[in-house]
Amino acid sequence: MYDSQLHNTISNRLRNLDIDFGDTDNMFYTRFVANATAIQFLYNEIYQHHPAGEQLFDALIDTIAKAYTQRPATLKERDEEKEKKGNWYLSNEITGMSLYVDRFCGGLKQLTGKLDYFKKLGVNFLHLMPVMESPEGESDGGYAVSDFRKVDKRFGTLEELKKLQQQMSTQNMYLMLDIVLNHTSHKHEWAVKAAKGEKKYQDYFYMYNDRDMPDQYDRTMPDIFPESAPGNFTYVNECNQWVMTVFHHYQWDLNYTNPQVFIEMLDTIFFFANLGVDVLRIDAPAFIWKQLGTTCQNLPQAHTILRLIKQCVQVAAPGMALLGEAIVAPKEIMKYFGTGLYVAKECDFAYNATHMALQWDALATGDTRVMLAAQHEILQKPFGTSWITYTRCHDDIGLGYDDYMIEYAGYNAYEHRKFLQEYYSGVHPMSTAIGALFSVNPKTQDARISGSLASMCGLERAISNNDEGAVESSIKKILLMQAHSFFIGGIPMIFYGDEVGYTNDYSYLNDAGKSYDNRWMHRPVIDWAKNARADEEGTIEHKVFSGTQKLIALRRQMEVVSDYKNLTWLQPHNIHVAGYLRTYNEKKLYCLYNFSGKEAFLTWFAFKQHGKITARLYDHWKEQYYTVGFDHEYFILEPYGFYLLEPVE
Ligand code: GLC
C-alpha cells in the first residue's frame, strides 16, 4: 500500500543515517516500503497512545536500517539464495537436533569437532539450547538470560559461536538459537538497575509497591510451575517492590507496554539474525502480553507484537525464519501462524505440541482415536508455514489437547488423563514406562510428564529386568514414535541422546541448582563411549542409531513428505492404526503405524478409498513389496510396526 508520508519518512531517515546502500540494495528498500504500512499499523496498534510512541517509531526504523547495514555480506547472499528457493524451510531435506552444548560435548569449540557425527546421522540443522550468559544455579537451563549478547563462559565465546556458524554454513547446515523474549534473569543489567531503584529500568518490568496489583493479577493467572515457583510475583528486598515473575522467581517478565523494551528486544533479535541464525526460536511468546483479569496468555497483543517482529525481520534479515514456542491448546497454537490479513505472516514455525502429546496418548492406550479427533484442527495450519515435529524435547510433556477430543474417542477426559499420568510415571500396573510427574497442580491435579523417550518407551525397565524381548519391543516403540513424527510434515527435531536410546539420568538430584526441576532427568550428559557403540552391530545404540539414520535418509529422498499441505488422514478402519497419505505431484506415500502391541489388520479398502491404487506397494522401511489384495483381505501390521508404502507398478 502506497503511503507517501510514511515512505518519505523512511527515505529521509535512511538518508539521515548516512547509509550508502549502493546499487545492489534495491531489494532492501523494496522490502522496507512493502512492509512499512504493516509495520506502522502494528506498532500504532500497541504504542500509539504511549507518550514516547511517536518518537520511538523513528528509532524503530533506524533499528531496522542499522540491522541491515550491519548484516554480513555472506548472510545477505544466503538470504538471496533462500528467497530464490521460496519457502526453503518446508523442505524434506532438513532434519534437526536440539542439544545442550555443555552436556553434549563440553563447549562450542568441541561442537565444531562433532559436525561429522551429525553428518553421519543425517542431521543438518542444530538447535543449540540457550548459550547466552545466565547465572549458574538460577538459569532454568539457560532461559534466564543475564546478557543477551555474551556467550556464557560455560559454553565458550562469541567468537567460537561465530566460527561454528561459519563452519555449519559451509557444510550447508542450519542453525537455530533462542531469543528469550518474555523475561530476563534478575541478574540482567536492566533488572539490577531496576532493583536499585532506577525508574527507567523499573518501567522495563512490571513492578509494584504493594500487593494490590499482584493480588489482582494472581486471581486469574495460572501457576506455570506450581510446585517449584508458585504465584506470579516475587518480592525484591532491595527496592521493596513486587516484580512479576511468571516462571521462576529469578525470571523477571519484561513489560512490552513500554515501546523502549520492544525496540531493545528487536535490536537483540537482529543481533541474533546477524550471527547467522536461520531459525530463531522465540521462547514462550504466549506470555509476552499481560492484562488484568485474564490468564495473561495468548492475548491478541502478543500476536500483534509477533507480527510486528516478523515484518521487521523480513525487511532486514529475510532469510531468518521465526519459530513461536507456543505450547498451548491446539486452537491457540494455530493462531501463531497468523490470522486474518496476517495468515502465514506471523511465525513461520510452531511446535506441533498437540501431535507430540497425542502420539504419547496413542502409545499408552494402543488406540489412535484421540489422535484422529484432533487432526481437523492440526490440519488448519496455513500453507507456507510449518511445524517442528518431535517426540521429546527438553521440556515436560503436557497433555494439552482438548477434552472433547478425548470424549470423542469414548473416554472420560479426567480419568483418561489420570491414566496417562499413571502410565508414564510408571505406577500403572500395565506400564512399561519410567518417568515422573512434573508440576503437579494440587488444586486441579493437573500434571505434565518428564522422562526420556527411551525410558518412556520401556527401555529402562527392560534393561533392568534383563528382558531381551522387552528391549526389542521398546526399540520398536522408539522408532515407531520417531517415524510417526518424521513423516507427518514439518522439520523433525530429534532431542540429543534419543538417537542412541539414552534412558533417564538421575544425577540432577545431586545438584541443588537442578534438583527442584525433574525435567533434568531427560537432559542427559553424553557419554561418548556409549555413543560409539552405535557402530557396533547388535548393541541397543546401534539399533536405535541406525534406525534413526535410515528414517532421516528416507525422508531426505522423498519430496512427497515436504510440508506442502499435502497430507490426508486415512479413515479409521482399525483403531490401533494411524495412517496418513502424503501426496505431491504424481507421487504418493501411505504411512501406517500400529500403536498396539499386537498384530493389526487393515482392510485393503483403506488404501483404495483414496483413489486408484497400483497392483503393488513398496515399503521403504522394510524394503519389501506387497501385493494389493481384495477388500475383504487385510494388510497385516506387526506389533508396534510401521510402514512407508509407495504404490509401484
Ligand atoms: C520455554 C522453555 C522452558 C522454559 C520456559 C521459560 O517454555 O522451553 O524450558 O522453562 O520457556 O523460559
Better-predicted residue by pLDDT, 12 or 282 = 282
Q: What is the pLDDT of residue 508?
A: 97
Residue 498 Cβ < 6 Å to ligand 1:
no
Whole-angstrom distance, CA of residue 648 vs CA of residue 627: 10
**How many angstroms does the Cα of residue 161 sit away from the middle of ligand 1?**
22
Q: What is the pLDDT of residues 418-431, one digit of tens each?
A: 999 999 999 999 99
Q: What is the pLDDT of residue 410?
A: 96
Please compute the mean of the pLDDT values over residues 61-83 and round it to a whole number: 95
**How many angstroms does the Cα of residue 622 sit away from the middle of ligand 1?**
38
Q: Which residues sit opposite 578 in a β-bridge?
A: 593
**How many angstroms does the Cα of residue 144 sit away from the middle of ligand 1?**
9
Examine the pLDDT at 570 and tell me if it is beyond 60: yes
The architecture that CATH gives domain 85-185+256-403+467-560 is Alpha-Beta Barrel (3.20)
Please compute the mean of the pLDDT values over residues 45-68 and round it to a whole number: 97
Q: Which amino acid is at 612?
A: K
Please compute the mean of the pLDDT values over residues 620-639 and round it to a whole number: 97
Residues contacting residue 358 through CB under 8 Å, at least 6 positions apart: 370, 371, 374, 401
Kindly list the distances between the CA atom of residue 188 and the CA atoms of 139, 147, 152, 251, 528, in Å, as whole numbers in the listed order: 12, 6, 13, 10, 35
Examine the pLDDT at 416 and tell me if it is beyond 80: yes
Residue 102 Cβ < 6 Å to ligand 1:
no
Residue 284 Cβ < 6 Å to ligand 1:
yes
Q: Are 360 and 325 in contact (CB under 8 A)?
A: no
Q: What is the pLDDT of residue 40?
A: 97
Residue (of 129, 231, 107, 181) closest to 522 by Cα position: 129
Domain ranges of the chain: 85-185+256-403+467-560, 561-648
Q: What is the pLDDT of residue 15?
A: 83
Residue 12, all three cell numbers: 529521509
Examine the pLDDT at 360 and tell me if it is beyond 70: yes
Q: What is the pLDDT of residue 498?
A: 98
Residue 603, all three cell numbers: 482392510
**How many angstroms does the Cα of residue 284 sit away from the middle of ligand 1?**
6
Please compute the mean of the pLDDT values over residues 332-344 and round it to a whole number: 97
Q: Which amino acid is at 615?
A: A
Atom of ligand 1 at shortest range from CA of 143: 12
Residue 283 Cβ < 6 Å to ligand 1:
yes
Ligand 1 test: best mutation among 180, 283, 392, 518, most atoms within 8 Å of CB? 283
Q: Which residues of 339-356 are buried (b: 16+ CB within 10 A; e: fewer)?
A: eeebeebbbbbbbbbbbb
Category of 140 on φ-ψ map: left (φ > 0), alpha (ψ -120 to 50) or beta = left
Q: What is the pLDDT of residue 441?
A: 86
Better-predicted residue by pLDDT, 16 or 1 = 16
The CATH label, of 3.40.50.300, 2.60.40.1180, 3.30.390.10, 3.20.20.30, for the domain at 561-648 is: 2.60.40.1180
Q: What is the pLDDT of residues 146-177, one digit of tens each?
A: 999 999 999 999 999 999 999 999 999 999 99
Q: What is the pLDDT of residue 263?
A: 98
Please compute the mean of the pLDDT values over residues 266-275 and round it to a whole number: 98
Q: What is the pLDDT of residue 20?
A: 65
Q: What is the pLDDT of residue 22?
A: 61
Ligand 1 test: best mutation among 100, 129, 138, 143, most atoms within 8 Å of CB? 143
Check: pTM over 0.95? Answer yes or no: yes
Please compute the mean of the pLDDT values over residues 613-626 and round it to a whole number: 97
Q: What is the pLDDT of residue 229?
A: 84
**How many angstroms does the Cα of residue 87 sit away from the middle of ligand 1?**
28
Residue 143 Cβ < 6 Å to ligand 1:
yes
Q: Number of H helices and number of E strands within the chain?
A: 24, 25
Residue 141 Cβ < 6 Å to ligand 1:
yes
Q: What is the pLDDT of residue 21?
A: 65
Under the banding of pLDDT at 50, 70 and 90, the label for residue 24 is: low
Atom of ligand 1 at shortest range from CA of 144: 12
The average confidence (pLDDT) of the chain is 96
Examine the pLDDT at 23 and tell me if it is beyond 60: no
Please compute the mean of the pLDDT values over residues 115-136 and round it to a whole number: 98
Residues contacting residue 497 through CB under 8 Å, at least 6 positions apart: 452, 524, 526
Q: Catalogue the active-site residues.
A: 283, 325
Q: What is the pLDDT of residue 605?
A: 96
Q: Which residues sit opposite 602 in a β-bridge?
A: 635
Residue with cell 514516547: 52
- Region of poorest pLDDT, from 189-193, 441-445, 501-505, 543-547: 441-445
Residue 558, all three cell numbers: 522423498
Q: Determine the angle formed by the axes of helices 300-316 and 26-47, rounding to 10 degrees.
A: 160
Report which protein residue has its CA nearest ligand 1's atom 11.
Answer: 284
Whole-angstrom distance, CA of residue 363 vs CA of residue 471: 16
Residues contacting residue 121 through CB under 8 Å, at least 6 positions apart: 97, 499, 545, 548, 549, 552
Q: What is the pLDDT of residue 98?
A: 98
Q: What is the pLDDT of residue 4?
A: 86
Q: What is the pLDDT of residues 6-20, one digit of tens each?
A: 988 888 888 888 776
Whole-angstrom distance, CA of residue 285 vs CA of residue 114: 32
Residue (of 65, 62, 49, 68) closest to 259 by Cα position: 49
Whole-angstrom distance, CA of residue 254 vs CA of residue 203: 9
**How many angstroms does the Cα of residue 459 sit away from the middle of ligand 1?**
27
Report which protein residue has its CA nearest ligand 1's atom 12.
Answer: 143
